């Protein structure tokens, strides 16, 4: 089966770069506004607090549980929601306890007695100090991986490629965070992992497009960067679409069948895969153009490198002959 033919006409991506630029900037600005107004909904992993997951035999008496908790001073304002199904609820509260032998779950257990036959399926409690630590670690991880990737791409390509890919990356992460803010999804550790995966995935895509552009600079005769980019991106179009599709499919199955605990995680990835694919084609390459990447310069450098290598080889050959 072929969706993209080998003689696929070259798409004029760069001619429309401005339009996509405007779309991207709008999305990023919209996300930033969302992040500032609605803000991220930090889950207990980062904000501290307790989440208790309770499963009832039959439907959960959610209203009764709310009433009981509201009557109790220390759990007033606890948030009780259905979790995945009508028989399961999640109780979220800001309170934590330091006592090892009697904790929030034991107290909750006492309060819930008489609400029906239930089982406490999980208790997550994170003290405020730990929450801060986890958040710092998360930010640190994000920063370090961006630095590491920047360094690697600069080394393999050129600094403009690195800068363009990191800008595409920031674009992807900002929009994904914007989506998380829009839907007020609990930010927990798995979501941090999802964001870092988006980081890796988006780069993966961008690097493959860039690799083709690097190759195109050598093989395509045109000295016009936009033409080289257009042709290279067109050549990778089929790969980009296919890989994005398989990844998207897999993440979608995770979202649909992976259970309630992985919902936020796979949602973040879904957004990330879409945005990451879009950005590798429509964001990263135009930035390369706007950074005034010069084909002539790059070719000269490559030629220089080749010359040096040839010379070295010649020297080696001479040396080997000399010793023989």
Partner 1 sequence: MNKLNYRVVIFLFAFLFGVVFSIPSLTQSDEGKKITLGLDLQGGLHMLLSVKSEVAVESKVKSIGTTIKYQLEKEDIIFDDLKIEDNSVRFELLDKDDLPKVTEILKDDFKEINVKQNGLSFTLTLSPQLIEETKKNAINQAVDTIRNRLNMFGLAEPTVAKQGMDKILVEVPGIKTQADEQRIRELIAKAAHLQMMAVDEDRDARVNTMSEAEAKQYGDVILTDVSNPKQKYLLHSIPILDGSMLVDAKVGYDRQNNQPLINFKLNGQGAKIFGDFSGRSVGKRMAVVLDGKVYSAPVIRERIGGGSGQISGNFTPQEAHDVAIALRSGALLAPVQVEEKRSVGPSLGADSIRASMIALIIGFLSVVVFMFIYYGMAGAIANTALIANLFLILAIMSLFEATLTLPGMAGIVLTVGMAVDANVIINERIRELLNAGNSITKSIEQGYNNAFTAIWDANVTTLIAAVVLFAYGTGPIKGFSLTISIGILASMLTAILGTHGIYQWILPKIDKKRLNFWFGIKTKGAK
Residues 136-155 that bind partner 1 (CB under 8 A): 137-138, 140-141, 144-145, 148-149, 152-153
CB of 250 to partner 1, least distance (A): 3
Binding of partner 1 by 7 (CB under 8 A)? yes
Binding of partner 1 by 117 (CB under 8 A)? no
Binding of partner 1 by 95 (CB under 8 A)? no
Residues 6 or more apart whose CB falls under 8 angstroms from that of 79 comprise: 91, 92, 93
| Region near partner 1 per CB under 8 A, out of 10-18, 61-69, 74-82, 238-246 | 238-246
Taking the CA atoms of 166, 171, 177 and 180 in sequence, report the sign of the dihedral they define.
negative
State which residue, 34 or 270, has the beta carbon closest to partner 1: 270
Degrees, nearest 5: CA angle 186-187-188: 105
Among 187, 207, 225, 275, which residue sits at the site for partner 1 (rule: CB under 8 A)? Answer: 207
For residue 77, give the DSSP letter.
T
State which residue, 24 or 240, has the beta carbon closest to partner 1: 240
State which residue, 34 or 288, has the beta carbon closest to partner 1: 288
Among 20, 56, 265, 293, which residue sits at the site for partner 1 (rule: CB under 8 A)? Answer: 265
Binding of partner 1 by 253 (CB under 8 A)? yes
Contacts 24+ apart (CB under 8 A), 207-212: 207/153, 207/165, 208/236, 208/239, 208/240, 208/280, 209/233, 209/236, 209/240, 209/280, 209/281, 209/284, 209/285, 210/153, 210/157, 210/161, 210/164, 210/165, 210/284, 210/288, 212/236
Taking the CA atoms of 195, 197, 203 and 208 in sequence, report the sign of the dihedral they define.
negative
CB of 135 to partner 1, least distance (A): 12
State which residue, 34 or 91, has the beta carbon closest to partner 1: 91
User: Do residues 146 and 265 lie in contact, with contact meaning Cβ atoms separated by under 8 Å?
Assistant: no
State which residue, 34 or 105, has the beta carbon closest to partner 1: 105
E strand spans, 105-165: 118-126
Binding of partner 1 by 289 (CB under 8 A)? no
Binding of partner 1 by 306 (CB under 8 A)? no
Binding of partner 1 by 134 (CB under 8 A)? yes
Binding of partner 1 by 288 (CB under 8 A)? no
Binding of partner 1 by 168 (CB under 8 A)? no
Among 234, 266, 277, 285, which residue sits at the site for partner 1 (rule: CB under 8 A)? Answer: 266
| Region near partner 1 per CB under 8 A, out of 1-9, 28-36, 289-297, 300-308 | 1-9
User: Helices 189-219 & 263-282, crossing angle to 10 degrees?
Assistant: 20
Binding of partner 1 by 246 (CB under 8 A)? yes
What's the full length of the chain, in residues? 324
Among 106, 132, 224, 302, which residue sits at the site for partner 1 (rule: CB under 8 A)? Answer: 106
CB of 52 to partner 1, least distance (A): 10
In whole angstroms, how large is the CA radius of gyration of the chain? Answer: 27
Name the residue among 224, 243, 210 with its Cα closest to residue 294. 224
Binding of partner 1 by 80 (CB under 8 A)? no
Binding of partner 1 by 11 (CB under 8 A)? no
């Amino acid at each position: 089966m072929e969706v993209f033919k080998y003689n696929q006409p070259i798409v004029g991506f760069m001619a429309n770069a401005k339009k996509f630029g405007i779309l991207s900037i709008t999305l990023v600005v919209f996300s930033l506004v969302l992040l500032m107004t609605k803000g991220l909904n930090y889950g207990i992993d980062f904000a501290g607090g307790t989440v208790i997951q309770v499963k009832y035999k039959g439907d959960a008496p959610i209203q009764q549980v709310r009433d009981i908790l509201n009557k109790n001073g220390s759990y007033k304002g606890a948030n009780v929601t259905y979790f995945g199904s009508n028989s399961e609820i999640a109780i979220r509260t800001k309170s934590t306890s330091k006592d090892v032998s009697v904790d929030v779950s034991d107290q909750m257990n006492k309060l819930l007695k008489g609400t029906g036959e239930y089982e406490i399926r999980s208790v997550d409690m994170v003290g405020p100090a730990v929450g801060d630590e986890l958040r710092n670690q998360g930010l640190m991880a994000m920063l370090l991986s961006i630095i590491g990737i920047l360094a690697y791409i600069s080394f393999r390509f050129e600094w403009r490629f690195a800068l363009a890919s990191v800008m595409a990356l920031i674009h992807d992460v900002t929009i994904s965070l914007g989506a998380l803010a829009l839907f007020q999804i609990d930010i927990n550790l798995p979501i941090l992992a999802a964001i870092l995966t988006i980081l890796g995935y988006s780069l993966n895509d961008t690097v493959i497009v860039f690799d083709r552009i690097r190759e195109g600079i050598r093989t395509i005769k045109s000295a016009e960067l936009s033409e080289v980019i257009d042709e290279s991106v067109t050549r990778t179009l089929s790969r980009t679409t296919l890989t994005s599709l398989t990844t998207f499919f897999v993440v979608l199955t995770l979202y649909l069948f992976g259970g309630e605990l992985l919902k936020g995680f796979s949602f973040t990835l879904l957004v990330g895969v879409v945005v990451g694919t879009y950005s590798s084609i429509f964001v990263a390459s135009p930035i390369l153009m706007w950074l005034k990447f010069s084909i002539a310069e790059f070719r000269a450098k490559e030629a220089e490198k080749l010359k040096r290598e040839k010379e070295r080889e010649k020297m080696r050959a001479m040396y080997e002959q000399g010793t023989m």
